[in-house]
């Protein structure tokens, strides 16, 4: 099934006859055979295999150049790393701790050359290479490596001799912290079922790539997702793999804060339901009450292949939360320092707006989404359709100029606008004489000790800690990870007033704490009066629920974008990628929800359809009524 070429047939003549017979009997169609043949011949032609091999063109590019070889090696390495199977891991002995001073020994149990495995192990830790004559501490962690000849023959125990099995039996009894590294046919497990190892890793073959993968995996916090492809023994059946035991959820901080634990159990259920229904691969939730962290939980994985668990260090694309935690914070700081007034016109600072229809719009109007600006502009679509010679011109200058030329909408009408915050981001840079990311870093993030709150985390934060967003098959043609998901922000270099910031839920909660109290950890960053000025509806009479930057509950109706129990003093924001925060000063309450619901496709809207974020917010309020 799915085969285009039959390789290494034991009897080519019989194989050919079998295929022809299958066609004659109607099991295979002649068209199918012709299609397969044509496909393979086309590949051979594309590779230049039909060129004149007697007098080759010296200038012709080699069939396989170094770039292709390097790509192949990278694919081989990734595949090898992911096919490792962890069958046992008592006391979570793996991964080994490279920061410890443990006595870790490597002991080969047969004549296999483990040079690549040893080299990788030594790259992580100064292990001891032992042999049968080495005196090893009985408490040491001993890595017992078995290779064998990868035989398919049961009579030879699949390439691992009885002498090796006997040796393993003795060593497993002698060393209570022994880890078996089985780079051999998994059926070897039949002969060692009764032996006791602390952990067992199966790697199936002894090639250099797999040896390197084993050495890397046992020192890294790897989630082993590969399972046994066969029933190898009575103990280890097909589909078998070790699954980490997740400890029961701890609600002690919830109870200590006087909140209803049962409501938080329901929060766990809803969050896990979102994972199971594929509303998102995973998420983070953080809740503060009265300045105390009462709930911090991670659910699911960074992607649906379940290779990397969401943890406290997982970093998410905050999308429109950037409007608050970068742009609004910056404007608040500049306002407090007397460098701008909320009734100032943007054109006072941005000369390119002076002779446009936006000459008279004010900072207050833009921050309230009441400046008649368009919601957004499809710059990336326009760029896709532009000639190649013009694609590079879609830069910051072009985008700001294009925004200045856009038409205005209806008067006295609230319309949420990305364009307004792009202009505000530019205003911050002009007034502060610093790039937006540097200004907000110098004044807030660095002083708060934030480590994962940044623009453009690619190359700054490890890819393994960044939850990917969309698999963009249309424009960027790549999996977006560590680069901003928002297309306009990407064209602006990843730093923009409306999108581009990355962070984790715990660090977002720190910024929320600052917005709730003006201070954090005893340091005052903003005056309470400044926060009150910005958390005010200036156009409430026009039925605009928005404060300056912040979203708020509906004025005269039941809200669906936030909890129905939220007070009118509360404020927050949501982001396109599946992010959300809500702060209620009347309850001293902070709630943060981060996810990558756009992975792998931004059309997935189950997060909103299931009301997951607001249902959780409701439960938090209900927990207060205990």
pLDDT of 121 above 70: yes
Q: Are 165 and 198 in contact (CB under 8 A)?
A: no
The residues, ordered by sequence, that sit 6+ positions from 43 with a Cβ below 8 Å of its Cβ are none
CA distances in angstroms from 235 to 192, 246, 610, listed in the order given: 10, 23, 42
Angle at CA 266, nearest 5°, toward 260 and 269? 150
Res 154: pLDDT: 84
d(CA 467, CA 481): 7
SS3 238: coil
Res 499: pLDDT: 98
DSSP 345-366: BGGGT-GGGTTSTTTT-BHHHH
DSSP lists the bridge partners of residue 479 as 471
pLDDT of 566 above 60: yes
Q: What is the pLDDT of residues 160-213, one digit of tens each?
A: 999 999 999 999 999 999 999 999 999 999 999 999 999 999 999 999 999 999
DSSP lists the bridge partners of residue 572 as 551, 582
Mean pLDDT to the nearest integer, 123-130: 94
Higher-confidence residue of 247 and 524: namely: 524
Of 534, 436, 539, 551, the closest CA to residue 493 belongs to 436
Res 236: pLDDT: 94
Q: What is the gyration radius of the CA atoms in the chain, in angstroms?
A: 30
Give the side-chain half-sphere CA count within 13 A for 370: 22
Query: Across the chain, what does the average pLDDT equal?
Result: 93
Mean pLDDT to the nearest integer, 46-61: 65
CA distances in angstroms from 141 to 127, 201, 342, listed in the order given: 10, 14, 65
d(CA 109, CA 90): 22
Which of the four pLDDT bands, split at 50, 70 and 90, describes residue 307?
confident
SS3 170: helix
* H runs (alpha helix) in 277-387: 322, 329-336, 363-367, 379-385
CB atoms within 10 A of CB 173: 11
d(CA 331, CA 364): 11
Res 64: pLDDT: 65
d(CA 450, CA 441): 9
Res 59: pLDDT: 61
Of 183, 180, 184, the closest CA to residue 242 belongs to 180
Q: Are 491 and 399 in contact (CB under 8 A)?
A: yes
pLDDT of 65 above 80: no
Higher-confidence residue of 69 and 121: namely: 121
Res 153: pLDDT: 82
Burial 469-493 (b: 16+ CB within 10 A, else e): bbbbeeeeeebbbbbbbbbbbbbbe
Res 243: pLDDT: 84
Q: Given the structure tokens 């009066």, which residue do they identify? A: 529
Dmax (CA) of the chain: 89
Q: Given the structure tokens 């912290």, which residue do they identify? A: 177
Which of the four pLDDT bands, split at 50, 70 and 90, describes residue 522?
very high
Mean pLDDT to the nearest integer, 245-257: 90
pLDDT of 381 above 70: yes
């Amino acid at each position: 099934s799915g085969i285009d070429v039959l390789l290494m047939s034991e009897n080519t003549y019989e194989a050919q006859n079998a295929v022809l017979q299958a066609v004659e009997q109607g099991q295979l169609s002649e068209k199918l055979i012709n299609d397969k043949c044509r496909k393979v011949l086309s590949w051979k032609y594309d590779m230049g295999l039909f060129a004149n091999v007697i007098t080759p063109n010296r200038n012709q590019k080699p069939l396989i150049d170094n770039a292709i070889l390097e790509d192949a090696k990278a694919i081989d390495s990734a595949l090898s790393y992911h096919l490792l199977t962890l069958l046992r891991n008592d006391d979570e002995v793996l991964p080994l701790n490279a920061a410890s001073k443990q006595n870790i020994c490597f002991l080969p149990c047969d004549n296999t050359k483990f040079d690549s495995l040893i080299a990788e192990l030594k790259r992580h830790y100064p292990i001891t290479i032992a042999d049968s004559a080495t005196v090893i501490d009985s408490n040491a962690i001993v890595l017992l490596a078995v290779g064998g000849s990868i035989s398919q023959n049961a009579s030879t125990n699949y390439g691992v001799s009885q002498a090796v099995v006997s040796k393993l039996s003795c060593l497993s009894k002698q060393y209570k912290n022994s880890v078996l590294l089985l780079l051999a046919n998994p059926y070897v497990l039949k002969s060692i079922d009764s032996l006791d190892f602390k952990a067992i890793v199966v790697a199936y073959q002894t090639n250099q790539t797999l040896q390197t993968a084993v050495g890397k995996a046992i020192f890294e916090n790897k989630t082993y997702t590969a399972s046994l492809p066969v029933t190898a023994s009575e103990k280890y059946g097909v589909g078998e793999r070790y699954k980490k035991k997740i400890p029961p959820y701890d609600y002690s901080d919830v109870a200590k804060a006087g909140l209803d634990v049962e409501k938080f159990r329901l929060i766990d259920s809803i969050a896990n339901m979102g994972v199971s229904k594929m509303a998102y691969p995973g998420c983070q939730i953080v809740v503060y009450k009265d300045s105390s962290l009462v709930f911090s939980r991670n659910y699911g994985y960074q992607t649906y292949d379940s290779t990397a668990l969401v943890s406290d260090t997982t970093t998410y694309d905050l999308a429109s939360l950037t409007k608050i935690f970068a742009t609004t914070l910056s404007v608040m700081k500049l306002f407090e320092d007397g460098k701008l007034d909320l009734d100032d016109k943007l054109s006072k600072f941005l000369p390119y707006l002076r002779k446009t229809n936006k000459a008279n719009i004010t900072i207050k109007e833009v921050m309230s989404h009441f400046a008649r600006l368009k919601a957004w502009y499809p710059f990336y679509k326009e760029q896709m359709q532009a000639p190649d010679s013009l694609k590079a011109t879609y830069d910051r200058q072009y985008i700001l100029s294009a925004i200045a030329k856009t038409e205005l909408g209806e008067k006295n009408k609230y319309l949420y606008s990305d364009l307004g915050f792009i202009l505000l981001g530019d205003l911050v840079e002009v007034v502060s004489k610093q790039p937006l990311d540097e200004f907000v870093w110098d004044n807030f993030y660095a002083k708060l000790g934030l480590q994962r709150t940044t623009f453009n985390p690619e190359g700054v934060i490890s890819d393994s800690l960044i939850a990917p967003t969309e698999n963009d098959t249309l424009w960027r043609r790549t999996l977006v990870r560590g680069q901003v998901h928002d297309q306009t922000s990407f064209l602006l270099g990843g730093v923009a007033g409306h999108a581009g910031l990355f962070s984790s839920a715990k660090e977002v909660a720190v910024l929320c704490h600052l917005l709730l109290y003006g201070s954090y950890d005893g340091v005052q960053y903003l005056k309470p009066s400044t926060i009150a000025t910005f958390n005010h509806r200036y156009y409430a009479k026009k039925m605009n629920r928005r404060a300056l930057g912040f979203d708020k509950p509906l004025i005269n109706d039941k809200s669906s974008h936030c909890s129905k129990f939220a007070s009118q003093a509360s404020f927050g924001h949501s982001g396109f990628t599946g992010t959300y925060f809500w702060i209620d000063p009347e309850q001293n309450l902070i709630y943060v929800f981060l996810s990558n619901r756009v992975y792998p496709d931004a059309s997935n809207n189950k997060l909103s359809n299931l009301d997951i974020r607001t249902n959780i917010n409701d439960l938090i309020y209900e927990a207060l009524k205990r």
